[in-house]
Structure 1
Amino acid sequence: MQEGHTDEVMEAAIRDILLSHAGNDLSHLKNTINLAKGRHDLEGLVFSDVDDEGIREEILAHFAASSSLDGERQAKALSDIDDTALAKIHEDRYPKGSVIPGVLEFYEALDLGPRDEPISRGDLTFVTARPSDALGLMKGHSRETLTKAGLADMSIMTGSIFNLATHDSMAAKKVENIDHYAKLYPEYDLVFIGDSGQGDIAVGEAIVEAHGDVVRAVFIHDVVAMAPAERERLAAKNIWVIDTYVGAAAKARELGLVSPAGVERVLAETNRLLDEMAWETPEQEQTIRSLVQRDAAAAGL
């Protein structure tokens, strides 16, 4: 039913299947659907394939009333791609196209949670302003890039070619996608990871304002040398500007999002990748190593 055109009968069947599940069973079904490749993930199913607004509202109302996880709430990670996971545009402290050291292990630490005993896994979704298309080709390209970087399970929510005109329009599309996500997964808290180069600060501020009861933290990877006063202003809103993912993991530990062992794994993975990096200049390498050492020392590592 997620492939091709969905007629009225199929939309009603999608609703009936989803409404027949509740609790952990419903969460497991939603997570399984969300890992589908191409455009056929949970967000695409509910907000694109289902055209009947009445059926969509029935589905979302059921999610709100019947989605629950046994035990403590878990956090799903929502992340930008360019300059957050991959050095692409403004991030020039690493060789272009490289995976930013520690980011993958940071995603893993968030997925495992504060005690490394998660109820569910695969809780990572990328939110990007990159355009989608009817065949999901752009999603497929992004997924291939991220898979090669070392990520196995993920979903991707894309934008539109029309959202690329300005940083404001790019941010607005990301906020819309995150709004969808909050409705699809009311049983989870949210963590957003972005960068300071293309509107992600505005995204962070908007989702904290709209969903502050479930947004556990926003992490902004700084690629523009943000002033200390601006960092302090954002920290007061639970938006944390970080220079390395060792620093992000340490703050996440303080907030009860990752385990102490998770922070250690982020540091170990960061150092491993720094050793393997094909640095462009010795100065480039020294700059990053100094930041990692500073953040590790601040975390007591």
Structure 2
Amino acid sequence: MTDKLQAGEALVQQLIRERGDIFGEFELIAFARPRTLELMHRCAGYVHHYEGQTLDDQVLSPPFRELIATVQLVARRDHGFAPNHVRRLYRMGVTDSVIIEAAEAIAPVEGWSTIGGVCRAIRTANDPDYATGELPPGGPPTQVVPFAEMDLASTVPRDAEAAGLLRAWDELTPIDSELAERFRSFVLHCWYDDGDGRVLPSTARLLIAISALCARGLSDVARDHMAIALAAGATRRQIIEAVSCVLPMTGSATMVVTLDALRGM
């Protein structure tokens, strides 16, 4: 075996050891462009919490990071990778219901077809013919294992309903009040209604939404929702880390939008 082949094989084994599995596409990169994959893995491992790639000062939990990554993959129509991330969530003790809650949080930005796409990823993850990643020995969890973001604030500042995406529906009301009311009700449900036994509180849902708004380049709207999240007790570091979870799918430009939105806050 040549040195290049040995290096590629070592890198493949490192990814499997630190992430739990590897996509076939990435195996190709390992042998063709190993340095590229090494740097990809260092970045992804840091933002998605792979074993051996994390630091002690990171604040968001691995399950919450994985929730953000999974729903963003679906929003990007990456239906090949998303089921693997669902299986990773299962191994962390995250239930189908919580995964769908994360999809609700991104839906006001990306559309509720994303919720359907996440359900498709869940169904594929439970299909024995899907070959990437392992299901837990007992199958999908039925009770969520608690993670830190479940304890974020549910109380949202009073002016939240007049900011960001919701402001657009207020402006539309004089033109088509029925359209505005129906969509405004949906957005409020996805982000702020806490009376239906949900696990993810409103602040956690806003962090997921902010990552999507930044990925879409909507810095002004993202700034409004960052202000709401900060007022509810979130930190700038939590916002940065939430957005960092979508960088593997959306690129460095997303962080430029994020920093622009945070500037001056």
Say yes or no: TM over 0.5.
no
TM-score norm. by structure 2 comes to 0.25
Higher strand share: 1
Higher helix share: 2
TM-score norm. by structure 1 comes to 0.23
